[in-house]
Amino acid sequence: MPAFSVMGEFEVIQRYFANSGRARKDTLIGVGDDGAVLQLREGYDLVVTTDTMVAGTHFFPDVDPRALGHKLVAVNISDLAAMGAEPAWLSLAMTLPKVEDPWLAAFADAFSETADYYDCQLVGGDTTRGPMTFTVVAKGQVPHGKMLTRRGAKVGDFIYVTGTLGDAGLGLRLCQGQVEVSKKHSAHILQRFHYPTARLAIGQALRTVASSAMDLSDGLYSDIQHLMHRSAVGASLDIERLPLSQALKDSCDRSTALALALSGGEDYELLFTVPESKKSMLDVLLSPYGVPVTCIGRITGAAGKLELRAGNEPFAYEHRGFEHFEK
Amino acid sequence: MPAFSVMGEFEVIQRYFANSGRARKDTLIGVGDDGAVLQLREGYDLVVTTDTMVAGTHFFPDVDPRALGHKLVAVNISDLAAMGAEPAWLSLAMTLPKVEDPWLAAFADAFSETADYYDCQLVGGDTTRGPMTFTVVAKGQVPHGKMLTRRGAKVGDFIYVTGTLGDAGLGLRLCQGQVEVSKKHSAHILQRFHYPTARLAIGQALRTVASSAMDLSDGLYSDIQHLMHRSAVGASLDIERLPLSQALKDSCDRSTALALALSGGEDYELLFTVPESKKSMLDVLLSPYGVPVTCIGRITGAAGKLELRAGNEPFAYEHRGFEHFEK
């Protein structure tokens, strides 16, 4: 590609991202060549995920660069978690209108810190000039044949989610000035929106028990339909069982809380299914991680049909995907 | 990531890119899950390259979508070629202001055709809304320890390039209306600009003889300095030996032709070095491929110094990086 004219592509990466994240022994060639050369563990397969964030669509143009740097890494690692993979390497393609030193330094710092936290090394990328856009490609490894996918859900399987739902959606609305949140809860809510945590250990632990898994990015209501589609099944969810944080319950009425939990998006929790025969193993298996896991429904044979219940009653819900960051 | 609101991300990929490129047996999970799962050949390392193209910076907003689809794939495969790798998989992150059916269909068609030509499968990506930007991540494989890098050039090594230089640079200026090219040559020149060919077979053949290699994207003058930097050497080039096509020589005066060959960019030819002891093997090794290869100079011990000669005389040259597509 033609060079970035303000500062060379090479210089941008060298200056801000040199040795970003952990220096891994299995990185044979990192940043600075035509490509990276990476050595996979024997008996492991490669897992690759891609996520793009565009200013004005996925983040506010005046976002804290530290939050953005963190989130870009975390949401990609969340996809690896959903596949049961161990993260290893990241590539970063940045399109920037200009190179602003303090902004880029803070962004790179948070990006590198988060990469390091997840034991990942930045091994390449591209820097171009244009409207602000970031694409991260995360690469991980999974023992051959042991990956989790959206494909394996079977009729009768129990449906679970990690953590709580709707907090990040509330955090977004808080940033947009659409809602108010008490001082007691606002830090937690903003943390959940700006600094998601990838459920990495849980994803790896689920390899032996889950029949399918995915991460929640658009919101439970729309995400579960992808899983249903790939597995050719239906699902029945009990909305009374949706795990809601005290902060969410204290901050809005019940119907808003449920709408945020179902359609608010950006939860980056794991959604997964477990066959009845393995249900009892689950608590034992996940207890070391201290992350709550909640059963919210079951897989049905009504392919493509998503049924919502409130206990034993049908629950009428009109889903509308939130238009994130749009006017 | 929040969904693409005009058409779901999933639908865009399914509709336009389903089974894009070859269906490879080593693709365990392709498009449609949280990530792709890919099985590397035993004893091979993974090679990953990233390239971004931004409308207005790297291509004209009114570019033929077929040319763009082709070029996005080819320039990434060119990076793999420079590493001596065999291409296998592609990811595509597209940011689009809107989904325009005929445009996207033509783009996807050319993308898929080119992927297929290079034996690659599209295994994932992301679709987001915003100013038009494309990031391709190409993944290939190389036998363990056999990759070509920019690092290995040694004093006394001979410097080579494949093909001819400057044609694509002339093609760009032709598109910009800055130059005129006779009817006899214009098709060739535009082809070289819009439809570069990755020197894949050459790259793989070079594994046993080249001490270093890279692909030429910004132009010989600036690219060779990256190789010099990584190898901690200098270089001496004889500008009289630069391979120029008849089309280039017929279309401009000598100094313009040399400026395009040195700084025009977008050649996507390979630049590589060969130790004296292996020089005689080169012709034999490369003869099956029908791609001309020209010796243009030698590596020197003057680290960081690029010396240009015209035969035995010093050659004064003022490099200016062309500002591609800028007003």
Q: Which of B2, B34, B56 sits opposite A83 (nearest CB)?
A: B34
For residue A234, the tally of other CB atoms under 10 A from its CB is 20
Alpha-carbon separation of residue A269 from A51, A159, B90, B232 (angstroms)? 16, 13, 27, 47
CB B212 within 8 A of CB B148: yes
- Per DSSP, B217 falls in state S
Q: In degrees rounded to 5, what are phi and psi of residue A109? A: -60, -50
Q: What is the pLDDT along chain B (327 residues), one digit of tens a residue?
A: 333 444 555 567 777 887 666 789 999 998 888 999 999 999 999 999 999 999 988 898 889 999 999 999 999 999 999 999 999 999 999 999 888 889 999 999 999 999 999 999 999 888 888 899 999 999 999 999 999 999 999 999 999 999 999 999 999 999 999 999 999 999 999 999 999 999 999 999 999 999 999 999 999 999 999 999 999 999 999 999 999 999 999 999 999 999 999 999 999 999 999 999 999 999 889 999 999 999 999 999 999 999 999 999 999 998 876 544 333
What pLDDT score does B9 carry? 56
What's the one-letter identity of residue A222?
S
Residues of B in contact with A45 (CB under 8 A): 28, 37-40
Determine the Cα–Cα distance for residues B271 and B294; give it in Å rounded to an integer. Answer: 10
Q: What is the pLDDT of residues B26-73, one digit of tens each?
A: 999 988 889 999 999 999 999 999 999 999 888 988 899 999 999 999
Condensed to tens digits (0 to 9), the pLDDT of residues B113-146 reads 999 999 999 998 888 888 999 999 999 999 999 9
CA A89 – CA B89 distance, rounded (Å): 17
Q: How confident is the model at residue A81 (pLDDT cuts 50, 70, 90)?
A: very high
**Per the annotation, where are the binding residues of B for substrate?**
58, 266, 322
Q: Under CATH, which number does the domain B158-314 receive?
A: 3.90.650.10
- On chain A, the residues whose CB falls within 8 A of the CB of B230 are 32-33
Residues 114-173 of B with CB under 8 A from A: 123-126, 128-131, 133, 135, 137-140, 142, 144, 147, 149-151
B159, B298 contact by CB (below 8 A) = yes
In this structure, of A182-196, A204-218, B90-104, B210-224, the range with the lowest mean pLDDT score is: B90-104
Residue A60, pLDDT above cutoff 50 = yes
Segment holding A14, helix H or strand E: helix A9-17
Question: Is residue A290 left, alpha or beta, with left meaning phi > 0 and alpha meaning psi from -120 to 50?
Answer: left
Whether ipTM > 0.95 holds is: no
Would the CB atoms of B40 and A40 count as touching at under 8 Å?
A: yes
Q: How much is the average pLDDT of A17-38? A: 85
What mean pLDDT is predicted for residues A44-59?
93
CA distance A33 to B85: 13
pLDDT band at A99 (very low <50, low <70, confident <90, very high): confident
* Per-window interface: B 50-109 vs A, CB < 8 A: 50-58, 75, 79-80, 82-83, 85, 89, 91-93, 95
DSSP 3-state of A319: coil
Q: Residue A325: what pLDDT?
A: 38
Q: What is the pLDDT of residues A115-126, one digit of tens each?
A: 999 999 999 888
Structural domain spans, chain B: 9-143, 158-314
User: What percentage of chain A has pLDDT greater than the value 70?
Assistant: 93
The widest CA-to-CA distance across chain B, in whole angstroms, is: 63
Interface test with B, best of A17, A137, A200 (most B CBs within 10 A): A137
C-alpha to C-alpha distance for B281 and A72, rounded to whole angstroms: 48
pLDDT at residue B32, as a whole number = 84
Q: In angstroms, rounded to a whole number, what is the distance separating the alpha carbons of residues B140 and B80? A: 7
Asked if residue A6 has pLDDT above 50, the reply is no
Predicted pLDDT at B322: 54
In which band, very low, low, confident or very high, does the pLDDT at A1 lie, cut at 50, 70 and 90?
A: very low
Of residues B95, B94, B79, B97, the one with CA closest to residue B31: B94
Check if B292 contacts A (Cβ < 8 Å).
Answer: no
CA distance A312 to chain B (A): 31
> Residues of A with CB below 8 A from B144's CB?
39
Distance from C-alpha of A77 to C-alpha of A90, rounded to nearest angstrom:
9
Q: Do A149 and B33 touch (CB under 8 A)?
A: yes
The answer for residues whose C-beta is within 8 angstroms of residue A215's C-beta and 6 or more apart is A78, A79, A81, A82, A199, A223, A268, A269, A270, A271, B34
pLDDT one-digit tens code per residue, A163-172: 999 999 999 9
Say which CATH superfamily domain B9-143 falls into: PurM-like, N-terminal domain (3.30.1330.10)
What does the alpha-carbon distance between residue B101 and residue B226 come to, in Å, rounded to a whole number? 41
